[in-house]
Chain A
Amino acid sequence: MHVEQTESDEEIACRVQGGDIDAFGILVDRYEQKLARYGRRFVARDEDIQDIVQDVFVSAYQNIQGFDATLRFSPWIYRIAHNACVNALRKSGRTAFSYDFDALVSHHVYEDPAESERDVKDMRLLLDRGLDKMQAKYREILILHYYEDMQYRDIADILQIPIGTVSIRMKRAKEALRENIKNEL
């Protein structure tokens, strides 16, 4: 048990690649709640989330040999979850993922390293009130940063966009969130 807790995700993924099926169980334990939480907020509904999470793990196991263990495991599995959630949203016809013009040119990267715990808590309170009404692309980036504690470089890997695009999208997402809440009041 002690080994399980100290072993990194990447080390465990390597064991799975080597044929250790039980090691995959550890990854399921570590990520099931996180992915369910991410999916529930991103897809913005409770039904089907368990099916989506199960599909994510099935896909992760099927493709685990394609995981490069020199990179971090977390963005890799969240990338699979992102694809599953986008497909679910498309199927339900509740969102239109338009072309992202922010990915065309580079933007200045501004990630506040001094973002305090209090700032994050305040932001989460705002998110709880206004998240549902936001565009999916803005909703997702806020979820990944404020609920899943992802750094910008990890978000860039999950969404497969330049880090500058993450930065500008985050800025626009916050503005949209504040606007939503202001309109509500």
Chain B
Amino acid sequence: MNNLRDKLLGDIRSGKVAMTPRAYFVAKIVALLAVSLGIVFVTIFIFNFIFFSLRINGHETLLGFGPRGMQAFVYFFPWYLLVLDVALVGLLQWLLRNFRLGYQIPVLYLVAGLLLGAFAFGFALDRGTPLNDVLHEGREHLPRPIGGFYEGAQRSPTAGSGMCHCVILAIDGSTLTVRDTRDSGGEGGDVSTLRITLPPNDRHATTSGLKVGDVIFIAGDESEGVIEAFGIRREDDSHSFFKPARQ
């Protein structure tokens, strides 16, 4: 005579205790997988967007401008997007712990693997496909929030920021005169000229290889219409280094 068994079987037969249908568990797994997959896509998209944002604003070029450039890169990096991505990966690893494979892998390895995978796919998506450029061109017609992302992606450097996408008008020794279009938000707006001075013997800021008419990206310290540059790169060069120039 087993009291517990008899009580349990009695409760089951009377309908007091009922079995949850298999469909519930199947739906739960499908929902978990769908949410996990959705998070994977969003995580990859955000990494891809970070790379696009760095590319389109020329911020990644700062990495080639020595310690000052690195400092500026850290300042301009969209940290909030990275924090959002890490939080999503944290949520993803927590969801994956519902699966055997998820809890068999140590937490740090799982998080590192997911971040690395999303980082690599995001990079490949930005540099290997025209997706971002196409979405950016058609940003006004995109649904929210993706449209909002792309509308705010390109932030033109403001006057006084020390950064500029400019066209060389004249080269005189270690001084450049460039067309400053920063406040106009692009070509065709108000145009003024800007003087760029280059420190002697600085491999990051040199006029060698530059000619009148070149489009350049400059970073430096700006004061009263003069930028003392700590880094210059021709736009074509930065494209050839990071991504083939679009025709």
A interface vs B, CB < 8 Å?
Answer: 17, 21-22, 24-25, 28-29, 32, 50, 53-54, 57-58, 61-66, 103-106, 156-157, 160-165
B interface vs A, CB < 8 Å?
Answer: 2, 4-5, 7-9, 11-13, 17-22, 24-25, 28, 97, 100, 103-109
Known: A21-B13, A103-B107, A104-B106. A61 touches B4 (CB 8 A): no
Q: Do the beta carbons of B18 and A57 come within 8 Å of each other?
A: no
Known: A28-B5, A61-B8. A165 touches B106 (CB 8 A): yes
Inter-chain CA distance A29–B25, complex, in Å, is 26
Closest 5 CB pairs of A and B: A66-B25, A65-B22, A160-B103, A28-B5, A104-B108
Q: Do the beta carbons of B8 and A58 come within 8 Å of each other?
A: yes
Inter-chain CA distance A66–B26, complex, in Å, is 8
Known: A103-B106, A105-B108. A57 touches B20 (CB 8 A): no
Chain B residues, CB < 8 A from A65: 19-22, 24-25
Known: A62-B17, A65-B20. A32 touches B12 (CB 8 A): no
Q: Do the beta carbons of A57 and B97 come within 8 Å of each other?
A: no
- Across the interface, A61 reaches (CB within 8 A) one of B7, B17, B24, namely B17
- Across the interface, A21 reaches (CB within 8 A) one of B7, B12, B21, namely B12
> B4: shortest Cβ distance to chain A, in Å?
6
- Would you call the interface of chain B mostly helix, strand, loop, or mixed? helix
Q: Do the beta carbons of A24 and B4 come within 8 Å of each other?
A: no
* Interchain Cβ contacts within 8 Å, total number: 76
- 15 extra interface residue pairs, beta carbon distance < 8 Å, beyond A17-B22, A53-B4, A54-B4: A21-B9, A22-B9, A28-B5, A28-B9, A29-B2, A29-B5, A57-B4, A61-B12, A62-B19, A62-B20, A103-B106, A104-B107, A106-B109, A156-B104, A161-B103
Chain B residues, CB < 8 A from A106: 106, 109
Chain A residues, CB < 8 A from B4: 28, 32, 50, 53-54, 57
Inter-chain CA distance A37–B98, complex, in Å, is 27
Q: Do the beta carbons of B8 and A57 come within 8 Å of each other?
A: yes
Known: A28-B2, A61-B12, A65-B21. A162 touches B106 (CB 8 A): yes
Q: Do the beta carbons of A105 and B12 come within 8 Å of each other?
A: no
- Across the interface, B17 reaches (CB within 8 A) one of A58, A105, A163, namely A58
Inter-chain CA distance A25–B28, complex, in Å, is 28
Closest to A54 in B: B4
Inter-chain CA distance A105–B108, complex, in Å, is 6
> A102: shortest Cβ distance to chain B, in Å?
9
